[in-house]
Amino acid sequence: MKKPVSKGSLLISILKKDFRVYSRNMIYLFLTILGLAFFVAIFWLVPDTVDEEINFAITPPLEALFSEGKETLLAHGFPEENLGQLEEAESAFEEEEGLFLVEFENEELLKKVIQGELDIYKTNESSFVIHDPGGEQSRPENADKINLDIGMSFPATFLSDAVLGQKPKVTIFADASVPDELRGVMEGFVREMAYQLAGHELPVELPDEETIILGQDRVGEQISMREKMRPLIAFFIMMMETFALASLISNEILQRTVTALLVTPLRTWHFLLAKTIFGTALAMGQAVIILLLIGGFTATNWHLLLVTVLLGSLLFTAVAMFVGSAGKDFIGQLMYSMLFLIPLMIPSFAVLFPGSVATWVRALPSYPIVRLLYDITIHEIPWADALWFLIYAASWTLVLYGISLVVLKRKVSLL
Amino acid sequence: MSAKRVFKLLGKDFSVGPRKPFFIWALLMPFALTLLFQFAFGSLFEPKPRLGIVDLGDSAITGEVRELEGFEVSVLDDVEELLRKVEEHDLDAGLVLAAGFDEAVKAGEKPALEFYISGESLASNRIIITVTGIEMIRDLEGGEAPVEVETVYFGEPGLPISIRLVPVIVFYALAMAGMWVPSSSLVEEKERGTLTALLVTSATVNEVLIAKWLLGFLFATFLAAVTLLLNQAFGPRPLEVMVVIIVAAALASMIGLLIGIYSKTATMLFTLIKSLGIFLFVPVVFYIFPEWPQWIAKFFPLYWIISPIWEVSIMGESLSLVWFELLVASAITLALIPPALLMKKRMLT
């Protein structure tokens, strides 16, 4: 007579068996490793900065333009104390947030850069270097190429002409691919400067900057695509494990191994619990590894992030158990999984878009998980701010897990 | 070899096919991708400034705003809703036009401008919206601008990202229909033993293979054409586009047939498609990023079909420009026949 086997050792033996089956399934092992490598590579390839400035060129350089303008005006007897409006116009060019200005000595150089015949680089010392890509000189080192698609050529007498009401002519050179709105803004910018110089004040009262900005002002601190990819990658890694676990369960049902197991001291709930633990550990383990590789954990967010990843892993384990209980063949199970996973993917794409998420997207079970991953990894929200979404995520997980348990248990008992 | 038997086998695949999940996925994928790329990613890569407007009177600005190109404009009824949308960054900026705003501007009363900017909007979008708004208000005021502005353009306009993504969608149509459908169908017949059953009849292996190739070829031709139609990318030479699609579908389904012959199980098929997929997909990426060195793409077999599709359907070129690519694609298709015939023994073991 053998002594009775403990529940713990029964569970461990199923987990060991599942792990063996998983590691022998070359397709999922291959996809897991490929997926991890692919996502890490993608993360480090996407840009980590947000280009929110409009690059544009002008000629002649501001200093030359304004000093000549001032001299001409003084020569015309323009009172020196009224030259303040010129300084305002100059600062509009130099200090306006969102504009990046490159100055050229002459129109020929500006045109060649816009046409792409010459390149312009900004060095680490913030100086500009013009480089001929077809020439013999190598491209400047420690310098970043600047994309210049639009530039303005002012006549040397622009300021004095505008102030004296002589209607100067400004030419804007633009690459044909420049969007309409950008071309329009450059034309508008020149016109508005001329209005101001000519003494035509704005026909409206503009409000203060502080009163017109709603929400946290993120100029200069925009969230980069790389930062947005971090929660997305963790989410996709958890989701991908649905295929593996669903396939594992499908095979047990198709091949009736579960009925063979149930003639041992093993009970159905052992089987269900083992699948839950295995699926959750698999998804969570990989999500944690990837988050470590892409710098998702910080000293302040690790505990909250771990709880979220645990909830997400459990949610996808529940989906996998439901899909797997259908006991379909490989292709059938793959397609069946997609039916559930595509809707669950939608909230993750919503993260990439600016603005709030549609109400129906918020109702999807994966939404609170995506939202938590986003808020924790990007905004480092504390527990108190995460509480509502944690409850929301836990509720969905419990509902889906409950349904999956019932469906899978019923399937096992009918075999 | 009997053409009649080939068409009977093909007819069986077409009648059973629509019930198979891989058939349905192949059919749905180009539609889903078109929706995703055209509506979602099209605006993701090139986001336009989003302006909301509440007109409490009957301002001429509202009409002008609606006509603006390069902007996403929403006209709302409620100021509270506008403020909420701006704060949540559903809009980059919001403008409230009080009743009598136009008259006040024209009368030189300098009315206060109720204008809001989302804290999360990009600095560039703020400038674009602000300057455009000021321009419109200046227009209301009337009078001539104190400067003449002339714009000179260089080069040809670039293609929008939604068009540059068309090769990706066409690739998926060809891959799903041309590669996935015949290979899955063949592997499924192997796994279920129906292939063995077929081969004890008078049908030969070659007939089965030709029927599977035709299945992929016809389905890929149809789906690639529908995909181009959906994306309004059939160009000015539809007949020439069809020639290109036929050559492309022939190559794609030949690759699919080879994969199907080689794969003994669905698992093996899936692994092969996934691993080969990355290799086959590479030339498509070069159309999304035209600044990359394009010669690298020529090392990948599907370049020779994606390039003619791009030139003839999207760029509107004639077949004479892509005859060499089509020749290479046809040569690759023909070159894959001997390996397929050599490997067919593998199916019988």
Buried b (16+ CB within 10 A) or exposed e, B52-61: bbbbeeebeb
Same domain, A191 and A279: no
Residues B198 and B112 in one domain: no
Within this chain, do residues A202 and A237 fall inside the same structural domain, yes or no?
no
Q: Is residue B155 part of a domain?
A: no
Question: What is the residue whose two structure tokens read 């086959």?
Answer: B280
Residues B320, B175 share a domain: yes
Count of alpha carbons within 13 angstroms of residue B201, beta-carbon side: 12
Pairing of strands A213-214, B114-118: parallel
Indicate whether B118 and B263 sit together in one domain: no
Q: Are residues A95 and A171 in the same domain?
A: yes
Task: Answer whether B187's CB lies under 8 Å from B259's CB.
Answer: no
Residue partners of A91: CB distance under 8 A and separation at least 6? none
- From first to last of its 415 residues, chain A has per-residue pLDDT tens of 556 667 778 778 888 887 887 777 666 677 778 778 878 887 887 778 887 888 888 888 888 888 888 888 888 877 777 777 777 777 777 777 778 888 898 999 999 999 888 889 988 777 888 888 888 888 888 888 888 888 999 998 888 888 888 889 999 998 887 888 888 888 888 898 888 888 788 888 887 766 788 888 888 788 888 888 899 899 988 988 888 788 888 888 888 887 777 777 777 888 888 889 988 998 999 999 999 999 999 999 999 999 999 999 999 999 999 988 887 777 677 778 888 888 898 888 777 676 777 788 889 999 999 999 999 999 899 999 999 999 999 999 999 999 999 998 888 887 7
User: How many CB atoms lie under 10 A from the CB of residue A211?
Assistant: 10
Of A98, A169, A215, the CB nearest to B89: A215
The distance of Cα B81 from the centroid of its chain, to the nearest Å, equals: 35
Can you give A259-313 as a three-state secondary structure string? HHHCCCCCCHHHHHHHHHHHHHHHHHHHHHHHHHHCCCCCCCCHHHHHHHHHHHH
| Contact at CB, B131 and A185, closer than 8 angstroms | yes
Q: Give the pLDDT of residue B36.
A: 66
What's the CA gap between A62 and A81, in Å, rounded? 20
Calculate how close chain A gets to B165, using CA atoms only, in Å.
17
Q: Are residues A180 and A235 in the same domain?
A: no
Both A118 and A245 in one domain: the answer is no
How many domains are contained in chain A? 2
- Residues B347, B349: Cα–Cα separation, whole Å: 6
- Is B326 a member of any domain? yes
B302 belongs to a structural domain: yes
Retrieve residue B200's tokens: 């004890």
- What integer pLDDT is reported at residue A397 of this predicted model? 95
Interface mutation target, options A204, A243, A334, chain B, most CBs of B under 10 Å: A204
Residues A179 and A289 in one domain: no
- Of A153, A187, A212, the position where a domain reaches its end is A212
Whether the CB of A24 is below 8 Å from some CB of chain B: the reply is no
**Count of A-B CB contacts under 8 Å:** 229
Q: Are residues B216 and B282 in the same domain?
A: yes
User: How far apart are alpha carbons B20 and B13 in whole angstroms?
Assistant: 10
pLDDT number for residue B42: 52
Q: Which of A181, A99, A93, A208 is nearest to B129 (CA)?
A: A181
- d(CA B202, CA B208) in angstroms, rounded, equals 11
Question: Quick one: three-class SS letters along B257-305?
Answer: HHHHHHCCCHHHHHHHHHHHHHHHHHHHHHHHCCCCCHHHHHHCCCHHH
Is A339 near chain B, with CB under 8 Å? no
E-state strands within B65-189: 72-76, 93-97, 114-118, 148-154
Report if residue B77 sits inside a domain.
Answer: yes
Asked whether residue A135 falls in the same domain as residue A169, the answer is yes
Number of domains in chain B: 2
> For residue A245, what are the CA distances in angstroms to A248, A275, A291, B318?
5, 8, 21, 51
pTM of the model: 0.69
Of A185, A212, A239, the last residue of a domain is A212
B70 with B219, same domain: the answer is no
Task: Read off the CATH number of the domain in which B121 is found.
Answer: 3.40.1710.10
Which of A200, A202, A272, A275 shows the shortest CA–CA distance to A242? A275
**Residue B154 included in any domain:** no
CA quadruple B72, B77, B82, B88: dihedral positive or negative? negative
Query: Per DSSP, which regions of chain B are E strands?
Result: 50-55, 72-76, 93-97, 114-118, 148-154
Of A212, A231, A254, which closes a domain?
Answer: A212
Task: Report, as ranges of residue numbers, the positions in chain B whose pLDDT lies below 70.
Answer: 18-19, 21, 35-47, 156-162, 278, 287-292, 348-349
Contacts of A27 in chain B (CB under 8 A): 267, 270-271
Structural domain boundaries enclosing B249:
3-42+160-348
CB within 8 Å: B123 and A50: no
User: Would residue B329 count as lying in a domain?
Assistant: yes
Closest CA to A239 of A331, A320, A130, A325: A320
A267 CA to chain B: closest CA distance, Å? 31
The whole-number pLDDT of residue B158 equals 64
> B120, B140, B275: best mutation site toward chain A, by most A Cβ within 10 Å?
B120
Between CA A50 and CA A221 the distance in angstroms is 8
Q: Are strands A128-131 and A119-123 parallel, antiparallel or unpaired?
A: antiparallel
- Please identify among residues 33-52 of chain A the ones whose CB lies closer than 8 Å to any CB of chain B: 34, 50, 52
Q: Contact B87/A172, CB-based, under 8 Å?
A: no
**Closest residue of A to B111, CA-based?**
A204
Same domain, A28 and A131: no
Task: Identify all chain B residues contacting A335, using CB atoms and an 8 Å cutoff.
Answer: 21-22, 24-25
Judge if A362 and A270 occupy the same domain: yes
Chain A residues whose CB is inside 8 A of the B113 CB are 204-207
* Alpha-carbon A365 to chain mean position: 21
> Within this chain, do residues A95 and A37 fall inside the same structural domain, yes or no?
no
The Cα of B162 is separated from the nearest Cα of chain A by a number of Å equal to 14
Cβ of A354 and B21 within 8 Å? no
- The boundaries of the domain holding residue A110 are 54-212
Q: Are strands B72-76 and B93-97 parallel, antiparallel or unpaired?
A: unpaired
Asked, for residue B109, whether it belongs to a domain, the answer is yes
Interface predicted TM-score (ipTM): 0.75
Give yes or no: residues B289 and B199 share one domain: yes
Residue B152 within any structural domain of the chain: no
| Residue A320, domain member (yes or no) | yes
Same domain? A22 vs A63: no
The verdict on B244 and B106 lying in the same domain is no
Residue B246 sits in the same domain as residue B301: yes
Report residue A315 as tokens: 């949610």
Inside any domain, residue A217: no
Contact B155 A180 (CB under 8 A): no
**Residues A92 and A63 occupy one common structural domain:** yes
CB within 8 Å: B49 and A165 = no
> Distance between terminal CA atoms of chain B?
22
- Do B93 and B178 lie in a common domain? no
User: Is the Cβ of A145 closer than 8 Å to some Cβ of chain B?
Assistant: no
Inter-residue contact A350 to A373 (CB < 8 Å): no
A139 lies within 8 A of chain B by CB: no
Please answer yes or no on whether B88 and A188 come within 8 Å at the CB atom.
no
